[in-house]
Amino acid sequence: MAYIDIRDLFKTFKKVVAVNHIDLEVQQGEMLTLLGPSGCGKTTTLRCIAGLERPEGGDIVIDGRPMLSKGFVPPAERGIGMVFQNYAVWPHMRVFNNVVYGMKLQKIGKEEIRDRAGKVLGLVGLEGLEDRYPAQLSGGQQQRVALARALVRNPKVLLLDEPLSNLDAKLREKMRFEIKSLVRRMGITAVYVTHDQAEAMVISDRIAVMNAGDVVQVGTAEEIYDKPANRFVADFIGTMNFIPGSIVEAVSGTGTVHVKTGFTDRMICTSVGDIDTTPGKDVFASIRPEDVEVILEARPDRENQFKGTIAHKAYLGNFLYFFVDVDGTPIRVQVPHHLPQQEGEEILLYFKPEKCMILEE
């Protein structure tokens, strides 16, 4: 049984559907990330779990207890800790008081407050900073204060709403691993919201990709990257070449599909998932830049070898991007940084058939 069970959740703002009858499960001790562009419904879903928004339909069950169907359970009674994007720390309070403020309202004894606060401040790396004000802290330290405040009450569930988006790139990368490690050590069930696909891939046990209020695909980072459900997911997670084409033939029982594109009558691709492979159907032959090889000479035993011209070359330190024109179709290719080819040169590309998947819109 799932620890958090979202059932047919529906939420609108005036006439705009924010969450469109979604079903989603989060297992105990799991870090699930809601990933998608702005306006996709991820933060609204998180706020519904927290009790900060009241949906028009559906239910949310946390640890076996319905939050909606048997009467609305207020946020304070849901056993939830929440970390917001803007930290939401009180500027007039020192670190210690920011962290323990909620416990003081619960009239917990002073000795227990000190004990729990000391443990959680140590966990998040803030020991020795108890007497500082937020203005005396870095952005990363302020985020740790917000995290400590959410954890000090021993919540059943931790909700994080784009908690790292206000940090610089280096600190954001460091904090991803710290949060992931902390949540795992404490065994907390967590739901994390972000629009950053790299962040989602690093921090999550599973990812739920959302678009326009719907959950489009749920899976591990590897599953979503290697086997995206549609073009939206493939485009949002990583980089993908989408080559318009149409089905010529599906080879029965093999998953192999022949696709006609703008530069060839026969590209060998692989069918991933439940896609209609009726001849004549419009699809995208899709392949990631790292799965296109630059080869020195054609091999007669290989399919999917095509000539092109390097239109642009981009140096990214540990690798290069070649933007190759293949008979009018632009193809992005990721190659080792030491390759000598220059803009304007003709090169030969090999599209790995097992990595070239067909996708629909």
- The per-residue DSSP string of 19-75 comes to EEEEEEEE-TT-EEEEE-STTSSHHHHHHHHHTSS--SEEEEEETTEESSTTSPPPG
Tokens of 50: 């927290």
2 burial class (0-12, 13-18, 19+ CB within 10 angstroms)? middle
Question: Does residue 150 sit in helix, strand or coil?
Answer: helix
Q: Which tokens belong to 19?
A: 């969450």
Tell me how far apart the alpha carbons of residues 191 and 50 are, in angstroms, rounded to a whole number.
Answer: 10
pTM for the predicted model, two decimal places: 0.90
Residues 6+ apart with CB under 8 A from 107: none
**279: amino acid identity, one letter:** P
SS (H, E, C) 94-138: CHHHHHHHHHHHCCCCHHHHHHHHHHHHHHCCCCCCCCCCHHHCC
pLDDT in tens, 231-244: 999 999 989 999 99
Digit-by-digit pLDDT tens for the chain (361 residues) are: 789 999 999 999 998 999 999 999 999 999 999 999 999 999 999 999 999 999 999 999 999 999 999 999 999 899 999 998 877 788 898 999 888 887 766 777 888 888 888 888 888 888 888 899 988 998 888 888 888 888 888 889 999 999 888 888 888 888 888 889 888 988 999 999 999 999 999 999 999 999 999 999 999 999 999 999 999 999 999 899 999 999 999 988 788 999 999 999 999 999 877 788 899 999 999 999 999 999 988 888 889 999 999 999 999 888 999 999 999 999 999 999 888 999 999 999 999 999 999 998 7
CA–CA distance, 38 with 98 (Å, rounded to integer): 30
Place of tokens 């909606």: 68
Give 245-276 pLDDT, tens digit per residue.
Answer: 999 999 887 889 999 999 999 999 998 777 88
Q: Identify the three-state secondary structure at position 175.
A: helix
